[in-house]
């Protein structure tokens, strides 16, 4: 390793990245698999994944940075689900994907990527052409992470490292300077294990080490802006933002540290939200609670939609008042899913709330949700 590459890696570790590697700037090996994934419609409604300009840039990083000679790939470990206990009283509680427990990683990591570029330029005494991303650019980052020696792509489509597991946020810096590349990981350490595939509640994990977003809980609770298909709602369980099930069952995470980088430390009351309290969050309260958090990506209506489904899955009668309040929410998306939740509870109080709401509701989609929920009430009668 030359002195410059060694210094850059040392600085990256000082900035908090547990994993650092370098690969040459060349087309990714998995581009064909990515195109096939798009052709099958597995990207669901994420149209940005299929845009022609972005496809061309994913095919060759020089379409992003013509001067590119090296790609510096980094990984930062975040806290895993088992790092915090599940509350035993006062529930029901929801679950949030662990990467979203703390401050938004986009903000946290981008500052460090900028600092790393400044360090490199100071070492060379001149500007260096660069582009940096953390889940923000048209780059097949897991491909480059494997090529840079950070790990292998597991059967759930996530990068896995033998020491740090898969609870990793990846980032990359395309550089107009030649650094010494690392050896790629060529061994698949998943072996015959299929725990992630078997544990996925919606069978979203495909045999090609990719995921069908149409069925993935992370897509359904975050990227999906509309209604969650009724047939899939029970599979959400208690998840209100994202999903970590395939990571929770992975043996490599059981060997990895429970805690992650301190800068990604959990915020209070975010990992295990009290569902009834969340269901009545005002717009102002939502914005205040989740300022600077990845959860703001769903917006209030998406988050409360997810909370309503989790409450329906918990089916605890004492949560009916919160759901009754949600039936009068300004957002039709929230009202519709609150109606579904009340139908899952189907107590006399829940059914009265639905009947009252039907008399006042004017949105056709919400009325249809209420009517379906009332059928459950009749079944319980």
Among candidate residues 296, 298, 363, the one with its CA nearest the CA of residue 328: 363
Residue 367 DSSP SS3: helix
CB 132 within 8 A of CB 104: no
Average pLDDT of the chain, as a whole number:
95
Neighbours of 2 (CB within 10 A): 9
pLDDT confidence of 86, banded at 50, 70, 90? confident
Question: Domains of the chain (ranges plus CATH)?
Answer: 3-76+103-175 (no CATH), 274-381 (1.25.10.10)
Rounded to 5 degrees, φ, ψ at 52 are: -55, -40
pLDDT confidence of 53, banded at 50, 70, 90? confident
pLDDT at res. 381: 53
User: 215-252, pLDDT tens digit by residue?
Assistant: 999 999 999 999 999 999 999 999 999 999 999 999 99
pLDDT at res. 32: 94
Among candidate residues 246, 202, 245, the one with its CA nearest the CA of residue 224: 202
- 52 has a pLDDT exceeding 90: no
Give the DSSP H/E element, type plus range, for residue 350.
Answer: helix 348-360
How many angstroms separate the CA atoms of 171 and 139, rounded? Answer: 10
- 157 has a pLDDT exceeding 70: yes
How many angstroms separate the CA atoms of 189 and 184, rounded? Answer: 14
- Percent of the chain residues past pLDDT 90, beyond the cut: 91
pLDDT confidence of 197, banded at 50, 70, 90? very high
pLDDT at res. 167: 97
Q: Which residues are marked as active site?
A: 135
- 110 has a pLDDT exceeding 70: yes
């Amino acid at each position: 390793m030359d002195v410059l590459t060694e210094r850059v890696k040392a600085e990256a570790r000082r900035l908090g990245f547990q994993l650092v590697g370098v690969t040459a700037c060349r087309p990714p090996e998995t581009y064909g698999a990515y195109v096939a994934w798009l052709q099958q419609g597995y990207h669901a409604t994420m149209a940005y994944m299929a845009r022609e300009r972005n496809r061309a840039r994913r095919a060759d990083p020089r379409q992003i940075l013509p001067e590119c000679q090296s790609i510096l790939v980094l990984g930062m470990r975040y806290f895993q689900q088992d790092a915090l206990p599940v509350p035993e009283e006062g529930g029901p509680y929801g679950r949030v994907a662990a990467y979203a427990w703390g401050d938004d990683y986009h903000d946290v990591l981008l500052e460090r990527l900028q600092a790393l570029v400044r360090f490199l330029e100071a070492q060379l005494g001149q500007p260096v052409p660069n582009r940096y991303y953390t889940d923000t650019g048209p780059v097949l980052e897991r491909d480059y992470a494997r090529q840079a020696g950070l790990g292998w792509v597991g059967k759930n489509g996530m990068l896995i490292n033998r020491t740090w597991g898969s609870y990793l946020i990846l980032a990359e810096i395309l550089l107009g300077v030649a650094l010494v590349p690392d050896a790629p990981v060529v061994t698949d350490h998943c072996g015959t294990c299929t725990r992630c595939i078997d544990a996925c509640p919606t069978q979203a994990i495909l045999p090609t080490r990719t995921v069908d977003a149409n069925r993935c809980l992370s897509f359904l609770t975050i990227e999906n802006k509309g209604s969650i298909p009724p047939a899939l709602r029970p599979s959400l369980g208690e998840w209100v933002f994202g999903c970590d099930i395939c990571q929770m069952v992975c043996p490599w995470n059981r060997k990895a540290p429970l805690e992650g980088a301190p800068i990604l430390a959990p915020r209070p009351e975010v990992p295990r939200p009290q569902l009834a309290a969340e269901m009545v969050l005002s717009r102002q309260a939502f914005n205040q609670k989740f300022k600077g958090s990845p959860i703001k990506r769903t917006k209030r209506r998406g988050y409360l939609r997810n909370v309503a489904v989790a409450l329906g899955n918990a089916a605890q009668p004492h949560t009916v008042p919160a759901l009754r309040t949600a039936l009068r929410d300004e957002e039709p998306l929230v009202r519709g899913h609150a109606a579904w939740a009340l139908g899952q509870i189907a107590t006399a109080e829940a059914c009265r709330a639905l009947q009252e709401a039907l008399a006042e509701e004017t949105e056709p989609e919400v009325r249809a949700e209420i009517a379906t929920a009332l059928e459950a009430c009749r079944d319980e009668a």
